[in-house]
């Protein structure tokens, strides 16, 4: 945690929709005049694609677990180094993992490789991490402890798979069977490193489909916002009754379903995020003594 150099992290599994939520956050940063250093979680993978395939084969022969969800597949120490360094001095290094041809053209490197490490831009107001491990805890590594605002994006599991299957087959060129294998291979690490993060978050957003996603591999299109609800769990700080009631009043057709949970129509998710997160981000900006006077 850092008053002077805060860190905001959006954490979720592959296909959960963290990149989509990043767009809402970018909009809020623009509204409040916050300059952010953007960090992509996939850039902390340990191996490039070809090396990962070789390591996966070795792990299979040796009966070891290896996936992009766990410590063997990622440089948690390097990510912690960035979070620590940024919190202390507002500096650090970043790189990108190039997923496909489109990104390859943008970053001048082949798909499945990393760009070089480079310093993050100077004079930013906050660091924004989006990826798999914003709140991971493993051994001596406690990423969550370094994060000032940790947001979980966790659709119901079937919907998460639907989104991953669509994205990987349509945008990343994988076959359905490859995606099936990847989901299966990652399950141990999913349970041990991805899921526990959602108990450390400040807020979780969980999209709930209202169409039949019972067989994710047979779903022809991703449920639209109108075909879903969103559960918002306000974990830290615990919201007051007045705050919950005011949110309910501001979001049409919402309901309070539990002590700290609100359910809203799927189409209102971006609005709700703006409503809830803008205030929290303004709070972080105030703490560091940097606030655009027009932002409120």
Ligand X SMILES: O=C(CO)[C@H](O)[C@H](O)COP(=O)(O)O
**What does the alpha-carbon distance between residue 166 and residue 169 come to, in Å, rounded to a whole number?**
5
By the rule CB under 6 A, 74 interacts with ligand ATP? no
Site residues for ligand X per CB under 6 A: 14, 42, 45, 49, 68, 97, 99, 112, 132, 172
Q: Which two tokens stand for residue 67?
A: 């996936």
Nearer residue to ligand ATP within complex by CB, 45 or 200: 45
Interaction of residue 167 with ligand ATP, rule CB under 6 A: yes
The conformation of residue 46, written as its DSSP 8-state character, comes to S
Give the residue nearest to ligand X (CB). 14
Q: According to the binding rule CB under 6 A, does residue 17 interact with ligand ATP?
A: yes
Q: Which of 5, 7, 12, 69 binds ligand ATP (CB under 6 A)?
A: 12
Residues 127-146 that bind ligand ATP (CB under 6 A): 131
Min. distance of Cβ 224 from ligand ATP in angstroms?
Answer: 6
**Smaller CB distance to ligand X: residue 131 or 239?**
131
3-state secondary structure of 161: helix
Q: Give the nearer residue to ligand X in terms of CB position, either 46 or 172.
A: 172
Helix, strand or coil, per DSSP, at residue 11: strand
Burial of 117 (0-12, 13-18, 19+ CB in 10 A): exposed
Stretch that binds ligand ATP, among 89-97, 161-169, 233-241, 245-253 (CB under 6 A): 161-169
Give min distance, CB of 210 to ligand ATP, in A.
Answer: 12
How far apart are the two ends of the chain, measured CA to CA in Å?
24
Place of tokens 């509204």: 31
Q: Would you count residue 211 as binding ligand ATP (CB under 6 A)? A: no
Q: Which is nearer to ligand ATP, 162 or 291 (CB)?
A: 162
Q: Which stretch binds ligand ATP (CB under 6 A): 88-96, 108-116, 138-146, 162-170?
A: 162-170
Instruction: Tell which residue, 163, 265, 157, has the closest CA to residue 219.
Output: 163
Say if residues 132 and 13 touch (Cβ distance below 8 Å): yes
- Of the candidate residues 163, 197, 201, 213, the single one contacting ligand ATP (CB under 6 A): 163
Element at 61 (helix H, strand E)? helix 49-62
Q: How far apart are CA 58 and CA 54, in angstroms?
A: 6
**CA 150 to CA 3: how far, in whole Å?**
15
List residues binding ligand ATP (CB under 6 A).
Answer: 12, 14-20, 131, 163, 166-167, 207, 222, 225, 269
């Amino acid at each position: 945690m850092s008053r002077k150099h805060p860190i905001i992290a959006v954490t979720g599994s592959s296909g959960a929709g963290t990149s989509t939520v990043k767009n809402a956050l970018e909009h809020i940063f623009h509204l409040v005049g916050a300059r952010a250093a953007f960090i992509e979680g996939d850039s902390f993978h340990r191996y490039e694609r070809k090396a990962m395939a070789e390591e996966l084969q070795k792990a299979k022969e040796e009966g070891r677990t290896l996936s992009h969800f766990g410590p063997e597949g990622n440089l948690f120490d390097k990510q912690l180094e960035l979070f620590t360094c940024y919190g202390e001095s507002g500096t650090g290094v970043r790189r990108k993992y190039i997923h496909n041809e489109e990104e390859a053209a943008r970053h001048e490197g082949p798909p499945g490789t990393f760009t070089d490490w480079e310093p993050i831009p100077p004079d930013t107001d906050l660091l924004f991490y989006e990826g798999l491990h914003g709140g991971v805890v493993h051994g001596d590594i406690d990423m969550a402890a370094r994060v000032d605002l940790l947001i979980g994006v966790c659709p119901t599991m079937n919907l998460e798979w639907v989104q991953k299957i669509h994205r990987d087959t349509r945008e990343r060129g994988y076959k359905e069977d490859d995606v099936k294998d990847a989901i299966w291979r990652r399950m141990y690490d999913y349970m041990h490193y991805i899921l526990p993060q959602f108990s450390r978050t400040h807020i979780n957003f969980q999209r709930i489909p209202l169409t039949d996603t019972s067989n994710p591999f047979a779903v022809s299109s991703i449920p639209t916002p109108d075909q879903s609800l969103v559960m918002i769990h306000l974990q830290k700080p615990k919201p007051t009754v007045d705050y919950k009631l005011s949110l309910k009043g501001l979001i049409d057709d919402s309901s309070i379903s539990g002590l700290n949970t609100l359910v809203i129509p799927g189409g209102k998710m971006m609005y709700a995020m703006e409503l809830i997160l803008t205030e929290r981000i303004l709070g972080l900006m105030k703490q560091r003594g940097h606030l655009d006077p027009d932002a409120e």
